[in-house]
Chain A
Amino acid sequence: MQAMNFFAGLLLLLMPEENAFWTLVGIIDDYFDGYYTEEMIESQVDQLVFEELMRERFPRLVNHLDYLGVQVEWISTPWFLSIFVNILPWESVLRIWDVILFEGSRVMLFRTALALMELHAPAIVTTKDAADAITLLQSLAGSTFDSSQLVLTACMGFLAVTDDKLNKLREKHRQTVLMIVGERAKGSQVSEDSKRIASKLYSFKQNRGQDETDPADDDRNMFKLEPRFSGLDELLCSLNSDLEVGTFPSLQDQVDRMKIELCTLLEEKRAAVLRAEELEIALTELAKEDNRQELNAKLYIEQLVQEVADLHQALAVKKEQEAAVVKVLVHLEQEQKVLEVARRNAEKEAAALREANSVLQPRMKANDNNTITVFIFATGANVSR
């Protein structure tokens, strides 16, 4: 459908055909379910939601648009449907797409649209007719080159616009849209009926043609046809308003005018209060974030200190163990020394014993020889005898 071609084109600029196709499918199914369908239900729901948000945030602007006969959705429908492609300058489009794809929801659409309205509201409230207002807004959107300002205003300025809030509003408005769509469907069935009305209209037109030729009949016909004239009457009054304004400068008119002025002022005040609240929320949010960071830092420091203490303790234990090991070593050394001494003593003793042995051995030999000699002597004596 028209509008999808815009961002399909964007995707084709960035990736090959098949990837672009599947990305398109993903975007439509995941982020824009029910948007690009035959009835465009969700798109219409979102428009009603956006209009309500606009009334809440920018009552003065919406009042002005109401006065000009411009419906907010005339402007915002193309914005939402094309996801800002061909609406904003490329850089802004891509930055907004980044946020949408990152957040994975349509919230950014609302925030961006609100931001655009906020940025350009001062210019819009000076316009004097419907076409001017819409044309101006279209051209202003197209020249929103400061993408950073836009994204910042969108993200920080409208923090209160969340998915939860949008979903609640969507629930509320979906009924209305479904009802209208249902009625339209019914309307096309009973087109026969409208054809009859149409033929009446044309016979009336022909009557009027005759009136022109016969002015005497004019008055009579006019009153007969009065109800059908009411539409044109309205138109006529708007056309001739210049002529008619100021014909009846009554007190009632003045009171009315002042009432209207009062209403506008009250609404302006409301808008200002809302804006202030918004900013306050943003500020507290920032402060909270700050606090959170400080707290985190403190926690981290504590953790570090704890770790250092742990390490110290571990070190002490290690030292103790070392000392113990050293003691054991010393002990072993001493034992070794003792053993050494013992060994030397033993060696000395062994040497002494060997010495004694060597002393005793010759003596023993001598003893033996003596015995042998004695024996020989004895035997010799015996032999000689």
Chain B
Amino acid sequence: MAHRVDHEYEYLFKIVLIGDSGVGKSNILSRYTRNEFCLESKSTIGVEFATRTLQVEGKAVKAQIWDTAGQERYRAITSAYYRGAVGAILVYDITKRQTFDNVQRWLRELRNHADSNIVLMMAGNKSDLNHLRAVSEQDGQALAEKEGLSFLETSALDATNIQKAFQTILTEVYHIVSKKALAAQEAKANASIPGQGTTINVAETSGNTKKGCCST
């Protein structure tokens, strides 16, 4: 599935994995990008990455997935990683109630530091440990609905729903971006019609923004 066709993609989406320490973010990443799972993985310090190119509605999309350190005190540092992210997967551990309760804090963190248009998804990981479950699927579903997030229970160990989770969030991001592209094209088309001062401003704004992001 993972086509290693670097620089041959139409869209590049940055997705961040967040959630408490030990919920399995790094293993979700390795399962998705390398189809690997390691029971003795070491804790993440700072950030790690992996990329995977996939097809979303016929377009080649390169997903650049950022795996972050989950520990509380690293938040001051990791918040910088949210910049430019178009999607975030918020992971909790279904066998640890505390990690589910902290979802609210993570949402707050994202709303304070990430782009306001970021697409969010919540994943209850370790669904293979059903006998140790401490958070019911209904609880997860209810919270997701309340906060307006999409929701899946996943397992990096047996690969349940890992593909689906990324496919879902990337498709949602793609819809927003392609719609935005359409809107921008329309705005440009409108800009060519004389007598609409406001429309011209929009076009210029987008031009300036482009320069801004190239120089950074």
Contact = CB atoms under 8 A, between A and B. Distances in A.
**Co-complex (A, B):** yes
Interface of A: 1-3, 5-6, 37-40, 44, 66-67, 69, 71, 73-75, 77-78, 81-82, 86, 128-131, 134-135, 138, 180-181, 184, 187-188, 191, 194-195, 197-198, 201-202, 205, 208, 212, 218-219, 222-223, 226, 228-241, 244
B76 A184 contact: yes
A88 to B, nearest CB: 14
A86 B10 CA distance: 36
A326 B73 CA distance: 92
B117 A181 contact: no
A2 B74 contact: yes
Chain A interface, >50% SS class: helix
A222 B66 CA distance: 31
A82 B81 CA distance: 19
B7 interface: yes
B138 interface: no
B77 interface: yes
Contacts, number: 142
Contact of B108 (A188, A226, A229): A188
Interface residues of B, number: 56
Nearest to A191: B108
Given A194-B111, A235-B86, A222 B187 contact: yes
B117 A228 contact: yes
Interface string B90-127: 00000000000000000110011001110000000000
B142 interface: no
B5 to A, nearest CB: 14
Interface stretch (B150-158, B162-170, B203-211): B203-211
Contacts of A138: 48
Nearest to B85: A235
Contacts of A237: 206, 209-210, 213
A134 B187 contact: no
19 contacts: A5-B43, A40-B76, A73-B80, A74-B46, A77-B46, A128-B7, A135-B49, A184-B76, A191-B108, A194-B112, A201-B111, A201-B116, A212-B179, A229-B180, A231-B115, A233-B206, A236-B180, A238-B12, A244-B210
A234 B180 CA distance: 11
